[in-house]
Amino acid sequence: MRLQLSAPSTKNIQKTIQVTGSKSETNRSLLLRALFPNISIENLSISDDGEVMQKGLQISSGEVDIHHAGTAMRFLTAYFASQPNKEVVLTGSQRMQERPIQVLVEALRSLGADIQYVKQEGYPPLKISGKKLTKSQVSLPANISSQYISALLLIAPSLENGLELELVGKITSVPYIKMTLGLLEQIGVDFIFEGNKIKVDPKEKVMDTKLVVESDWSSASYFYSIAALCEVGTKIKLSSYKQNSLQGDSVLSKIYTDFGITTTFSDNQITLEKTEESRQENVSYDLSNAPDIAQTIAVTCLGLGMGCHLTGLHTLPIKETDRLAALQTEMSKFGAKVAIDSESLTLQPISSIKSGVDVDTYNDHRMAMAFGPLALKTDLIVNDAGVVSKSYPDFWKDLKTLGFGVSEM
Ligand SMILES: O=C(O)C1=C[C@@H](OP(=O)(O)O)[C@@H](O)[C@H](O)C1
Ligand SMILES: C=C(OP(=O)(O)O)C(=O)O
């Protein structure tokens, strides 16, 4: 699907949008419910990643294909490895077969798991023969992906001796680890997280517990970007959000004050209001705790003619695409000057951007969604726009609700 995007007739938007549940909270909650059946879940993410996780958890033998879903790949690897009587081949899209998983496989093997690489050493697909894991101490690098750590933490309470993790190196994407621990806390699991050690106690049964998934903050980022590119007075309300979020991307409410956006929380809703024009020429952020909003922020800056220096982006090259390279290529099409290295991106301020650009999306939902708001500044085309279904299938429909021109070519 190739979409032509154009600006709404008014840049003073006053609308309300219901955003689907967080895919990160959803896929954790689903795994916990598979281990502890008296958990119930509300506001599940309606998305490809949530769907493949639900399907994967129902399978006991044969092939499980999780497409592009990183969390499903990592969480299900730990799940199947710890389930006696289950034997599966866990596979995914071509890109998933290029996303590393060795750290998790090594950690699980050190606990006694039986996991074989089907094709290339260190990468999916994996042949997993589930076993009862009785060892309880594991050490693993923490600087590549926090999902390996969350995967181990999620199965930890179901192991007969619990689990003690030693995290080696600088811990990346820390809020996602805290999100996992936050959910364990909600189901009554005891743990200690001190320095580079996490200890999780075993738990045989949990009380009847309802996990209510908050809507997705990474998805909210595109509305922050839209509000920032609109006129002062714009108000966009999003449901269902709360002030004490488990999601690290809720840092958006602070970051976007630099772009003139004030966030107010009330009755499960946030209101994003553009209260002033941004007065800064350059901004800089360390996004090692919030990697998924890097693309949004970079494109907001491009639209506002601002420069930015984003650091802590060392995980971006191994996500749905190499996001640093993809951002550089696509922003350059608009006339931007963008420099990247292995962990940062620098955008120079520019006074005007080119129109009629064809944005390529590289099978990455966030490439499509990050560039969408730029239609407020210039007409553009988004190629393979259906990729948004990974986390936010209604994204284009919701853009139409805000008044954007969205037409298939
Ligand atoms: O645990 C999670 O739900 C996630 C962790 C992050 O990955 P890394 O830890 O690999 O940075 C994030 O980018 C991803 O979208 C979701
Ligand atoms: C990196 C992402 O997802 P995952 O790693 O779960 O595929 C994302 O949604 O931005």
Q: 76 with 196, same domain?
A: yes
User: How buried is 58 (Cβ within 10 angstroms: 0-12 exposed, 13-18 middle, 19+ buried)?
Assistant: exposed
What ipTM goes with this model?
A: 0.99
Q: Over range 153-162, report the average pLDDT.
A: 98
Q: 170 with 318, same domain?
A: no
Mutate to test the pocket of ligand 2, among 287, 292, 296, 364 (most ligand atoms within 8 A of CB): 292
344 labelled binding-site residue: no
Residue 270, both tokens: 């946030």
219 lines ligand 1 (CB under 6 A): no
Specify the ligand 1 atom closest to the Cα of 318.
10
What pLDDT, in 10s, does the model give residues 196-208? 999 999 999 999 9
What pLDDT, in 10s, does the model give residues 299-323? 999 999 999 999 999 999 999 999 9
Q: Which helix (H) or strand (E) holds 261?
A: strand 261-266
Q: 269 with 363, same domain?
A: yes
147 labelled binding-site residue: yes
* Helix count and strand count (H, E) for the chain: 12, 22
What pLDDT, in 10s, does the model give residues 119-151? 999 999 999 999 999 999 999 999 999 999 999
Q: 165 with 260, same domain?
A: no
Please say if 292 is a catalytic residue.
yes
Q: 187 with 235, same domain?
A: no
Q: 347 with 238, same domain?
A: yes
Displacement of CA 246 from its chain's centroid (Å)? 13
The residue from 164, 195, 212 where one domain ends is 212
Residue with tokens 């093997």: 109
Q: 201 with 113, same domain?
A: yes
323 lines ligand 2 (CB under 6 A): no
Residue 14, both tokens: 């006053």
Distance in Å, CA 126 to ligand 2 centroid: 19
The answer to whether residue 357 scores a pLDDT higher than 90 is yes
Q: Supply the pLDDT for residue 399.
A: 98
Q: 10 with 31, same domain?
A: no
The answer to pTM > 0.90 is: yes
Domain holding 124: CATH number?
A: 3.65.10.10
Which-ligand-closest: CA of 390? Answer: 2
Q: How many CA atoms lie within 13 A of 235 on its CB side?
A: 8
The answer to whether residue 279 scores a pLDDT higher than 90 is no
Q: 81 with 199, same domain?
A: yes
Residue with tokens 């050490």: 139
The residue from 151, 179, 212 where one domain ends is 212
Q: Supply the pLDDT for residue 278.
A: 87
Q: What is the 3-state secondary structure (H, E, C) of 40-55?
A: EEECCCCCHHHHHHHH
Mutate to test the pocket of ligand 1, among 48, 52, 71 (most ligand atoms within 8 A of CB): 71
Give the number of other CB atoms < 10 A from CB of residue 212.
15
Q: Supply the pLDDT for residue 290.
A: 98
Q: Over range 229-245, report the average pLDDT.
A: 97
User: 220 and 252 in contact (C-beta within 8 Å)?
Assistant: yes
Domain that holds residue 183: 23-212
Q: What is the number of domains present in the chain?
A: 2
Q: 152 with 298, same domain?
A: no
What pLDDT, in 10s, does the model give residues 167-203? 999 999 999 999 999 999 999 999 999 999 999 999 9
- Rounded to the nearest integer, the mean pLDDT of the chain is 98
User: DSSP 3-state assignment of 252?
Assistant: helix
Q: Kind of pairing, strands 345-347 and 338-340? A: antiparallel
Q: Supply the pLDDT for residue 23.
A: 98
Q: Supply the pLDDT for residue 285.
A: 98
Q: Supply the pLDDT for residue 67.
A: 97
23 labelled binding-site residue: yes
279 labelled binding-site residue: no
What pLDDT, in 10s, does the model give residues 378-393? 999 999 999 999 999 9
Ligand 2, atom 1, lies closest to the CA of 319
Which residues are CB-contacts of 176 (< 8 A; sequence separation ≥ 6)?
Answer: 24, 146, 147, 150, 248
First to last CA, the chain: 8
Identify the bridge partners of residue 264 per DSSP, sorted by sequence position. Answer: 271
What pLDDT, in 10s, does the model give residues 84-101? 999 999 999 999 999 999
Q: Over range 245-264, report the average pLDDT.
A: 98
Q: 332 with 199, same domain?
A: no
Residue 302 has phi, psi (to 5 degrees) of: -60, -45
Distance in Å, CA 146 to ligand 1 centroid: 6
Distance in Å, CA 365 to ligand 2 centroid: 9
Q: Kind of pairing, strands 235-239 and 269-274? A: antiparallel
Q: 205 with 225, same domain?
A: no
The residue from 212, 242, 271 where one domain ends is 212
